[in-house]
Amino acid sequence: MSHLPILVIAIPLLFAFLIPLISMLFPSVRRITVTAMGLVYAGLVGMMIWGYHAMGVDRVIYPLGGWGPDVGIVLELDALSAAFAGIMGLGILLVILYSQDYMEAAESKYYVLLFIVASGIMGIILTADFFNLYVFIEMSAIASFPLVAVSRRGTALFASLYYMVFTLVSSALILLGIILVYAATGSLNMGEVAAVFDTIPELTRASIVGSFVIGLSVKVALIPFHSWLPPAHAEAVSPISALLSGVLLKNGVYMLMRLLPIFGFGDGSLDVRTLLLVIGVLTVIGGNVLAMGQGNVKRILACSSVAHMGYIALGIGIGGALGFAGALFHSLNHMLMKAGAFFSVGCIADGSFELSGLRGAALRTRPAGITFAMSTAGLIGLPPFGSFASKIMIMFAAIDAGMIGIAAVLPAGAVLSAIYYGRVYQVLYAPSEREPDDVSISPWQTTIVLVVTAVGSIATLVWAGNLARIFATIADYLVG
Amino acid sequence: MLQDAIQSLGFGRFALGIDAVNMIFVIAFVMVGTMGLLYTLASRPPIKRAMLSLVFVLASLGCVTAGNMLTFLIFWELMLIVSYLMIVSAGTARSRNAGFRYLLYHVIAGAGMLVGVLVQVSATGSMAFSAPTNAAIPFFMLGIGIKVGAIPFHTWVPDAYASASPSVSVVLSGFTTKVGVYAIIRLLPGVAAIPYMGAAMALVGVLLALLQKYSRRVLGYSIVSQVGYMVAGVGLATASGIDAGSLHVINHIAYKTLLFMAAGAVIYRVGSDHLPSLGGLIRYMPLTFICALVGALSISGVPPFNGFVSKYWLKLALDGQPVVLHALTIAGIGTGASFMKLLWYTYLRDPENRTVSSGPKEVDPGMAIPMLLLAVFCLATGLRPDILAGYLPHAGPAPDPFTLSGLTAGAWPPVAGVAFFTVARQLLSRAPEPPDVDALYRRGLVLMEYVAYSLARITEDRLQGNLMMILVVFLVALLVFR
Amino acid sequence: MGLSLAYWVVLLLFGMGLYCILTESNLIKIAVGINVMEAGLLLFLVRLSYSPGDLAPLMGPTTGPGIADPIPHALTLTAIVIAASTTALMLSLIIQIYRHYGTVDIEEIRSKMQ
B446 and B432 part of one domain: no
Distance CA A450, CA A458 (A): 13
B328 and B476 part of one domain: no
Which helix H or strand E contains B457, and what residues bound it?
Answer: helix B438-459
Q: Which of A168, A176, A188 lies closest to C86 in CB terms?
A: A168
Distance CA A171, CA A135 (A): 10
Question: Which sign, positive or negative, has the C-alpha torsion B362, B366, B371, B372?
Answer: positive
B322 and B356 part of one domain: yes
* Residue C1: band (very low, low, confident or very high) from pLDDT cuts 50, 70, 90: very low
Measured in angstroms, the CA of A394 and the nearest CA of chain C are apart by 37
CB-based contact A165 C38, cutoff 8 Å = no
Number of domains in chain B: 2
B109 and B198 part of one domain: yes
B40 and B180 part of one domain: yes
Q: pLDDT digit of tens for each residue in chain A (480 aa)? A: 588 889 999 999 999 999 999 989 998 888 899 999 999 999 999 999 999 999 888 888 888 877 776 677 889 999 999 999 999 999 999 999 999 888 888 888 999 999 999 999 999 999 999 999 999 999 999 999 999 999 888 899 999 999 999 999 999 999 999 999 998 888 888 988 999 988 888 888 888 998 999 999 999 999 889 989 999 999 999 999 999 999 999 999 999 999 999 988 877 777 888 899 999 999 999 999 999 999 899 999 999 999 999 999 999 999 888 999 999 999 999 999 999 999 999 999 877 899 888 888 888 888 899 999 999 999 999 988 999 999 999 999 999 888 889 999 999 999 999 999 999 999 998 887 665 667 788 899 999 999 999 999 999 999 998 999 999 999 988 886
- A402 has a chain B CB within 8 A of its CB: no
- B464 has a chain C CB within 8 A of its CB: yes
Does residue B251 contact residue B378 with C-beta atoms inside 8 Å? yes
* Residue C17: band (very low, low, confident or very high) from pLDDT cuts 50, 70, 90: very high
Q: Which of A135, A146, A157 lies closest to C100 in CB terms?
A: A157
Percent of residues, chain B, with pLDDT higher than 90: 38
Measured in angstroms, the CA of C76 and the nearest CA of chain B are apart by 24
Q: Tell which C residues from 82 to 111 touch B, by Cβ distance under 8 Å.
A: 106, 110
B·C CB contacts under 8 A: 14
Does residue A60 contact residue A90 with C-beta atoms inside 8 Å? no
Measured in angstroms, the CA of A16 and the nearest CA of chain C are apart by 18
SS3 B463: helix
- B451 has a chain C CB within 8 A of its CB: no
B195 and B132 part of one domain: yes
Distance CA A251, CA A254 (A): 5
B53 and B182 part of one domain: yes
Nearest CA-CA partner of A298 in A222, A365, A357, A231:
A231
**Domains assigned to chain C:** 2-113 (1.10.287.3510)
Neighbour-count burial for A355-392, b at 16+ CB within 10 Å, e otherwise: beebbbbbbbbbbbbebbbbbbbbbbbbbbbbbbbbbb
Which segments of A225-295 does DSSP mark as H helices, in order?
229-235, 238-242, 249-262, 272-292
Chains that touch B (3 or more CB pairs under 8 A): A, C
CB-based contact C34 A172, cutoff 8 Å = yes
* Residue B398: band (very low, low, confident or very high) from pLDDT cuts 50, 70, 90: confident
B322 and B453 part of one domain: no
- Summarize pLDDT for B268-314 with one digit per residue, the tens: 888 888 888 887 888 888 899 999 999 999 999 888 888 898 898 88
- Summarize pLDDT for B307-349 with one digit per residue, the tens: 898 898 888 888 888 899 889 999 999 999 999 998 988 888 8
Residue B230 has a pLDDT of 92
B111 vs B361 pLDDT, higher one: B111
Measured in angstroms, the CA of A77 and the nearest CA of chain C are apart by 23
Residue B239 has a pLDDT of 86
CB-based contact A165 C85, cutoff 8 Å = no
- Summarize pLDDT for C45-89 with one digit per residue, the tens: 888 777 777 777 766 666 667 777 778 888 899 999 999 999 999
Over residues B392-406, mean pLDDT:
80
Residue C55 dihedral angles phi and psi, to the nearest 5°: -95, 150
- A157 has a chain B CB within 8 A of its CB: no
Interface mutation target, options C27, C81, C89, chain A, most CBs of A under 10 Å: C89
**Radius of gyration of chain C from its Cα atoms, rounded to whole angstroms:** 19
Chains that touch A (3 or more CB pairs under 8 A): B, C
What is the value of ipTM here, to two decimals? 0.92
Over residues B240-268, mean pLDDT:
90
B201 and B100 part of one domain: yes
Q: Tell which C residues from 15 to 44 touch B, by Cβ distance under 8 Å.
A: 18, 21-23, 25
Q: Which domain holds residue B99?
A: 2-436
Confidence check: pLDDT of C2 > 60: no
Say which range, A5-14, A321-330, B165-174, B446-455, has the weakest mean pLDDT: B165-174
- B470 has a chain C CB within 8 A of its CB: no
B189 and B326 part of one domain: yes
Please report, for chain A, the start and end positions of each structural domain, with discontinuous segments joined by +. Answer: 271-480
Residue B356 has a pLDDT of 58
B164 and B197 part of one domain: yes
CA A285 remoteness from chain centre? 20
Residue A1 has a pLDDT of 59
Does residue B71 contact residue B14 with C-beta atoms inside 8 Å? yes
Q: Which of C78, C89, C112 lies closest to A146 in CB terms?
A: C89
B247 and B192 part of one domain: yes
